[in-house]
Structure 1
Amino acid sequence: MHTVRNRKKLLERTRKIRGQIEGLERLLEESTGEGDDVSLILQTVASSRGALNGLMCELIEGHIREHVQSGHEISVRDRDQVVEVIKRYLK
C-alpha cells in the first residue's frame, strides 16, 4: 500500500504541519489584536491549509494510482486526468 511505502515521507509532512499548527496556537495565545498580529495569523492559517491540502492531494493521488489499475475501471490516461483535476482542486 502506498501509505506504508511512503510512510517516512508522509510522517515528515505531518510533523511539519503539526509544527505549523502549534505555531498558530502560540500566535493566537500571544496576539495583542494589532493588525500585524492578525496578518501573521492569517498567513499562518493559509500556509497550514496549503500544507494539509498538499498532504491530502498526495494521499489521494497515491490511492488512485495504487487502486485504479489500467484496464480495469478506467484507462491510465483517464486516471492521470483524474489525478490532475484533484491536484488543481486541492491547491
Structure 2
Amino acid sequence: MSHLTDASPELIARVRRIAGQVAAVERELVAGAPCGKVLHLVAAVRGAVNGLVDEIIAEHLEAHVAGAGLTDEARAQGAADLLAVIRRYSK
C-alpha cells in the first residue's frame, strides 16, 4: 500500500495517539481504577481504531479500486483485498 506513504506522518501520529490511549488503559488497570473509567477509556480506544481503519479503507478504495488507470485485474485485486479485511474486521 505505497499510497499510504503520502499520508504517513498523519497516520503515524494517529497510531501514536492510539498507543497512548492503550497505555492509559493499562495504567488504570494496574492502578485498580473503577471499571466505569476503564470502560470509558477502552471505548475511546475503539473509536480511535475505528477512525484509523476508516481512513485507511478510504485511501485503499481511492488508490486500488476507484483509481483512474487501474486495470480490471488490479481493481479486482483491490476489491478482494478490501473485502477480506472487512470480513475479518467485522467479526
Decide: shared fold, TM above 0.5: yes
Question: Displacement of 1:71 after TM fit?
Answer: 8.1
Aligned-pair distance for 1:52?
A: 0.4
Structure 2 residue 41 is matched with structure 1 residue 40: no
What is the aligned partner in structure 1 of residue 31 from structure 2? 30
- Identical pairs, percent: 36
Q: Which runs of 5+ in 2 are unaligned?
A: 76-85
Higher relative contact order (CA 8 A, sep 6+): 1
Residue 67 of structure 1 deviates from its aligned partner by 1.1
Counterpart for residue 13 of structure 1: 14
Amino acid at match of 1:25: E
Q: How far, CA to CA, are the matches of 1:59 and 1:14 in structure 2? A: 12
CA RMSD for the aligned pairs? Answer: 2.2
How many residues are aligned here? 72
| Structure 1: runs of 5 or more not aligned | 75-85
Q: Deviations over 1:39-88 (max 9, x none)?
A: 110000000000001001100110001112258668xxxxxxxxxxx8xx
TM-score (norm 1): 0.70
The answer on 1:52 being equivalent to 2:53 is no
Partner of 2:79: none
Give TM-score, length-normalised by structure 2: 0.70
